[in-house]
Amino acid sequence: MIKRIIDTSSLAAFKSILASVNRIVVTCHKKADGDAIGSSLAMGRLLSNMGKNAVVIIPDQLPASLEFIASGNEFFTFTMCETKASNILRNTQLILSLDYNSFDRVDRMQPLLEASNAKKVLIDHHRDPKNCFDVMFSHPLMSSTCELVYRLAAEAGWLQWFDKAIASCLFVGIMTDTGNLSFSSSYPDVYEVMAKLMEYGIDKPYLYKQAMDTVSLNSLKLQSYAILNKMTIIDDSIALITLDQDDLKQFNYRTGDTERLVNKPLSVDGVFWSTFMREDSKYIKVSMRSEGEFAVNSICAKFFNGGGHKNAAAGEFYGSMQEAVELFHKIVEQIKNDITI
């Protein structure tokens, strides 16, 4: 039996909001990953199956590697149809926030969400949600927002509206947020949720292949180059990979091409902290992964305007790559000298 985790008064409040609205918008964070898009599409489809008018609006373009989840599911990309999406957002009665905990994670949709008088409901697994929601389902111990959506739906009695497409979206989000059940998944219930999702007849080998084991040739070459030529390992334990605009151009970089690169140095025995810096157009994107008790979300929050989970976090650095690398080395020195971060 999967344990009950949903607060009953929050669920009652959510149900009463749902009963009083028809127009609903489901949103997720910018640069959507498998969990963000999977949970949003699943929630949108669930609400549609329940007879609600639910629209999924994602902040910006999906990476090509995640387009397979989208096929057959309807959604709007804010940056590609800003006028229409803005109108929908202005007229909605309820906004659902999936897989993010603060409106500064939705890019150009932020002012519209902040100004909206619609009810706002959070469904998320990031720590410390901002106090801007009418109802919150905030569960930092969950593997993924997708797992949380399944458990919320099960406890709410909504599984009767589940179908294979919803189960497939949720399965993908759990796979991608746990590295196919290699991290953030050390408790039995997540496996029970996976088993329940399998009962909808999902094509697991296809979903695994698409979500976890398919890259473009350019991406494979870029990641190989990054590891061979652009990776530094400090003290056999701390890895840094940097890719600047010239590197990205050389391999015809497209959004998503560096997905999971930051995880790779952790497979070297002894490496417990990996950082990847990529020079985007407006800032240096900084991603960090760690093993064990070493928390990278606090480092990203303190130095890189970001945050995330203990072992997977990210942020942004406004300055040159050289300055970002210098700051990184200063942080490493502080940690080596045991100054508390």
State in angstroms the smallest separation of the CB of 20 from ligand 5GP.
Answer: 32
Contact window for ligand 5GP (CB under 6 A) among 20-28, 108-116, 162-170, 302-310: 302-310
CB closer to ligand 5GP out of 17 and 238: 238
Q: Where are the beta strands (DSSP E) in 31-145?
A: 53-58, 76-77, 94-98, 119-124, 135-138
Contact (CB, 8 A) for 9 and 78: no
Q: In whole angstroms, what is the distance from residue 219 CA to residue 147 CA?
A: 29
CB closer to Mn ion out of 92 and 144: 144
Q: Is 306 near ligand 5GP (CB under 6 A)?
A: yes
- What DSSP state is assigned to residue 30? S
Interface pick for ligand 5GP out of 185, 307, 311, 331 (rule CB under 6 A)? 307
Q: Is 312 near ligand 5GP (CB under 6 A)?
A: yes
Interface pick for Mn ion out of 35, 147, 257, 259 (rule CB under 5 A)? 35
Interface pick for ligand 5GP out of 43, 66, 222, 314 (rule CB under 6 A)? 314
State in angstroms the smallest separation of the CB of 33 from Mn ion.
Answer: 7
Residue 340, Cβ density class (10 Å: 0-12 exposed, 13-18 middle, ≥19 buried) = exposed
Residue nearest to ligand 5GP (CB): 308
Q: Is 59 near ligand 5GP (CB under 6 A)?
A: no
CA distances from 173 to 42, 211, 222, 228, 245 (A): 10, 9, 25, 30, 30
Q: Is 99 near Mn ion (CB under 5 A)?
A: yes
Q: Is 177 near Mn ion (CB under 5 A)?
A: yes
Dig out the tokens for 106 from the structure. 């939705």
Number of residues that bind ligand 5GP (CB under 6 A): 12
Q: In whole angstroms, what is the distance from residue 316 CA to residue 303 CA?
A: 9
Q: Pairing relation of β-strands 312-317 and 23-28?
A: unpaired
Report the chain's terminal Cα–Cα distance, integer Å.
40
88 to 147, contacts with ligand 5GP by CB under 6 A? 126
State in angstroms the smallest separation of the CB of 133 from Mn ion.
Answer: 17
Backbone dihedral angles phi then psi of residue 49, each to the nearest 5 degrees: -60, -25
39 to 58, contacts with ligand 5GP by CB under 6 A? none
User: Which entry of Mn ion, ligand 5GP, none binds 264, CB below 5 to 8 A by partner kind?
Assistant: none
State in angstroms the smallest separation of the CB of 32 from ligand 5GP.
Answer: 10
User: Which entry of Mn ion, ligand 5GP, none binds 34, CB below 5 to 8 A by partner kind?
Assistant: none
Q: Is 38 near ligand 5GP (CB under 6 A)?
A: no
Number of residues that bind Mn ion (CB under 5 A): 5
Which amino acid is residue 32, in one-letter code? A
Q: Where are the beta strands (DSSP E) in the chain?
A: 23-28, 53-58, 76-77, 94-98, 119-124, 135-138, 231-234, 238-243, 273-279, 284-290, 307-308, 312-317
Interface pick for ligand 5GP out of 256, 309, 317, 328 (rule CB under 6 A)? 309
Contact (CB, 8 A) for 331 and 303: yes
Residue ranges binding Mn ion (CB under 5 A)? 35, 99, 144-145, 177
Residue ranges binding ligand 5GP (CB under 6 A)? 126, 262, 287, 306-309, 312-316
